[in-house]
Amino acid sequence: MRDIPDRPGSRTPARRRRTVLIPLTAVAAALAATVVTAPAAGAATTLGAAAAEKGRYFGAAVAAAKLSDSQYVGILDREFNSVTPENEMKWDATEPSQGRFTYTNADRIVSHAQARGMKIRGHALLWHAQQPGWAQSMSGSALRSAMVNHVTQVATYYRGRIHSWDVVNEAFADGGSGARRDSNLQRTGNDWIEVAFRTARAADPNAKLCYNDYNTDSVNPKSTAIYHMVRDFKARGVPIDCVGFQSHLGTSLPGDYQANLQRFADLGVDVQITELDITQGSNQAAMYGAVTRACLAVARCTGITVWGVRDSDSWRGTDNALLIDRSGNRKPAYQAVLDALNAGSGTPPPTTPPPTTPPPTGSGCTAVVSLNSWTGGFVATVRVTAGAAPVDGWTVRVTLPAGATVTNTWSAQAGGSTGTVNFRNVSYNGQLAAGASTEFGFQGTGTGPSGTPACTVG
Ligand code: 9MR
């Protein structure tokens, strides 16, 4: 691949077109095309340029200490149009002793990026890990004040220069509990996350404010707990603009990866893939391609960041989880990402599923309810999805438990308020293309519905 020009955004002349056969195992072959062609004339030849043509950024985590490595910087400057400081903006780096702020290493990355017109993702204002020792041993209102001061100081210092801040990182527990992760920050009160977001907004009103986490690559208890938090924040006006999906992936991609991104986007936030790396193996290139296509298929997926430049720069040791090998050469995974970025139509991004998504089976429609409940009340959001055929009009039948009453409905017409309630589409959301979805919601008193409601067409 060395005949691909090394200038950012440069294009491969037609006379250089060629075909490269990439060896793939049967598993990967089932997921990806076996023939990878060099870009046609007109196709972008770097990740950043190709992503930009689709209205998105393509970034890498950057370590300040490596900015003196010419190979590293050469690849960074050629391929990427966004950076995330890998460690340099974390609490232990920016406030090593209380009230004394140091930005030297973070500034090296920020200056490098700004000079080249790259976006900067700020990572991360608050996290249970990589806290300075003095904060680790704090609790209660003293920690709450220190936390607010930290967010204010750092976000103010970088005001106007950060595209997106990871305001809070990894605050939810793994496993099936859907609970918050225990931490000194969590023990200051459940509202610490919204306090952090309000504080960050006040300090830098133009940065997009993100919640960032891992093990959120499918619809699972952890991602659903975060989904409920984001929905609650949007409902109450807590300033949140984006959700980061770290996507530290192994050897298979969850089948609902794209659908999971989409359900967050449907809440009215951007989604970003923030720390992508994938175990090297027979599936690596195919998975990188599939992740890229998933982002392109979600209109509000605004960019992808890989967590390092070369395999040798990765926190994942011998996994060789990145796009560039230890010698600085592009890997099949790199080509898969570039091809995925170059495929399809240009901006605005497509909102239809990528070609690899299996067509929905069965005609008719399906409905899924997600609930945000509190003592004495609930908000239900219902996602209606057409089957293999287009839908012209739908009705969703929801059975409420005894004592529950619908008090308010949006994007649907409720027939009744207690017992079994039929929700009928309104004029603007009755027609759905095959496989397409829409949402409506209702609020109620008492206990919300459980189970899967029936959806009928017509
Ligand atoms: O890549 C980072 C590594 O250099 C640090 O030692 C580590 C410290 O916890 O953090 C790594 O980055 C993490 C990121 O900040 C948050 N998500 C998980 C990343 C990988 O551990």
Percent of the chain at pLDDT > 70 equals 86
For residues 335 and 373, membership in a common domain is answered with no
Give the domain CATH number at 167: 3.20.20.80
pLDDT band at 441 (very low <50, low <70, confident <90, very high): confident
Establish whether residue 104 lines the binding site of ligand 1, counting it when its CB lies within 6 angstroms of any ligand atom: no
- Looking at the structure of the chain, the number of domains it has is 2
**Domain-embedded: residue 14:** no
Do 292 and 375 sit in the same domain of this protein?
no
Arithmetic mean of pLDDT over the chain:
88
304 and 403 in a single domain? The answer is no
Rg (CA), the chain: 23
Please work out whether the CB of residue 313 comes within 6 Å of at least one atom of ligand 1: no
Stronger pLDDT, 81 or 28, i.e. the higher one: 81
Instruction: Please state the atom number of ligand 1 nearest to the C-alpha of residue 124.
Output: 15
Confidence band, pLDDT 50/70/90 cuts, at residue 38? low
Find the mean pLDDT for residues 1-11: 31
Task: Decide if 371 is inside a domain.
Answer: yes
Among residues 299, 246, 305, the alpha carbon closest in space to that of 270 is found at: 299
- Shared-domain flag, residues 413 and 449: yes
In this structure, the answer to whether residues 85 and 207 fall within a common structural domain is yes
Q: Is residue 352 part of a domain?
A: no
Annotated catalytic residue 88: no
Look up residue 76 and give its two tokens: 């960074």
Establish if 4 belongs to a structural domain.
Answer: no
**Beta strand 431-432 pairing with 391-392:** antiparallel
Share of the chain above pLDDT 90, in %: 77
Judge whether 19 lies within some domain.
no
The number of CA neighbours under 13 Å toward the Cβ of 407 is 12
Is the domain of 261 the same as that of 300? yes
* Same-domain pairing of 248 and 397: no
Tell me which of 29 and 309 has the higher pLDDT: 309
CATH, residue 376: 2.60.40.290
Give yes or no: residues 376 and 304 share one domain.
no
Average the pLDDT over 125-137 and give the result.
98
Tell whether 249 and 310 lie within a shared domain: yes
Please check whether residue 63 lies inside any domain of the structure.
yes
Asked whether the predicted pLDDT for residue 438 surpasses 90, the reply is no
Helix axes 192-203, 221-236, angle to 10 degrees: 50
87 CB near ligand 1 (under 6 Å):
yes
| Shared-domain flag, residues 298 and 391 | no
Q: 278 pLDDT band (50/70/90 cuts)?
A: very high
DSSP state of 447: P
Q: Which atom of ligand 1 is nearest to the CA of 246?
A: 17
**Residue 124 falls within a domain, yes or no?**
yes
Q: Is the CB of 157 under 6 A from ligand 1?
A: no
Q: Lowest-pLDDT range, 16-30, 176-190, 244-258?
A: 16-30
Q: Which domain holds residue 90?
A: 47-342
Mean pLDDT of 201-211: 97
Domain boundary among the residues 285, 308, 342 is at 342
Predicted local confidence at residue 39, as pLDDT: 55
Same domain, 307 and 213: yes
- Is residue 360 in some structural domain? no
3-class secondary structure, 275: strand
Of 15-19, 32-36, 390-394, 439-443, highest mean pLDDT: 390-394
Ligand 1 atom with least separation from CA of 315: 1
Tokens 């090297």 — which residue?
Answer: 280
**Mean pLDDT, residues 70-89:** 98
Of 86, 95, 275, 439, the active-site residue reads: 275
pLDDT at 116: 97
Lowest mean pLDDT among 222-236, 295-309, 337-351, 442-456: 337-351
